[in-house]
Structure 1
Amino acid sequence: MMEQDPLSQLRDIHIPAPGGFWPPAPGWWVLLIAVIALAVIIAVAVRRRRQRNAWHRVASRDLDRLANRAAVTSQWFSDLNALLKQSAIARYPQRQPESLTGQAWVDFLLETSPNERVASGPVVMAMVDSCYQPTPTCSTDDALRFARLWLRGQRC
């Protein structure tokens, strides 16, 4: 009679074997593509910024060298102004700062200075005038302080 009973021929429920980790679901592929695209975009942006600010690193290094050999001489102030002018050419090529001299150069430096324009005015004027005086009137500390402030504000 047991052989006639169809229920006796049934077997237990079998759970299928779990799937492997490969291939991943479509959502993981989308996430992977998004992460790779984001990484590429960030890498390109960082590289462009580093290239755009390469002049700033060189100028900062040269300013440190000037600071190490600071002396109240017209040649030292000429070197400092040349460094600032090279930096201005790299940062503002469309404004042609290489042609500026005297009061126009002072106005340019104050205009592009990040802050303390009024307080920096006498220092910048004395710094620029010290290039042409046999005994400079500007302090090297004040000139270096302004140059560092100006360079810090010029980063892209």
Structure 2
Amino acid sequence: MAQDSFDHSWHVAAEPGAVFAHLADPHSYLGLSPLIVAVRDVSEGVDDSGQPFVAYTAVERFKAGPVRLWDNPIAVTMRVDAGAARIRQDVVSPGRVRLTSLLVLTPESGGTRLDERIELTMPRLLRGFVRGQARSVQLYRAGELSRRLTATA
């Protein structure tokens, strides 16, 4: 198994509370990632340590131009910590791909600073593809989040 990680920071011209609320809603991820075409089976629970979480299935659609290649259902567990302004998502994807995203929101002049760290585990043969997709989605999400929330600020 291969492992990889990378970070990205960006600014959104919206208050931290609005950014946090948007990112804490699983349905907000429709279109926030260019791959996600559906969010379903959303449920809330409490883990063995007493921490609340939201679990859901996101469906990623992979295409080559206009041709649909396959739909990839991924299991997502989201833990939100409003007090620390942190959102952690653990993703289990078919093909033994695992992704953890830790997003920290900080008030900043004119809006919110977001710092995200993504950690990946995947079979070595998939490393280039998985890393490329994860990084591409991260950068797209930053731009789309900025566009969405700046338009409503």
Normalising by structure 1, what TM-score? Answer: 0.29
Q: Which has the higher helix share?
A: 1
Larger RCO, structures 1/2 (Cα 8 Å, 6+ apart): 2
Larger Cα-atom Rg: 1
Higher strand proportion (structure 1 or 2): 2
The TM-score, its normalising length taken from structure 2, stands at 0.29
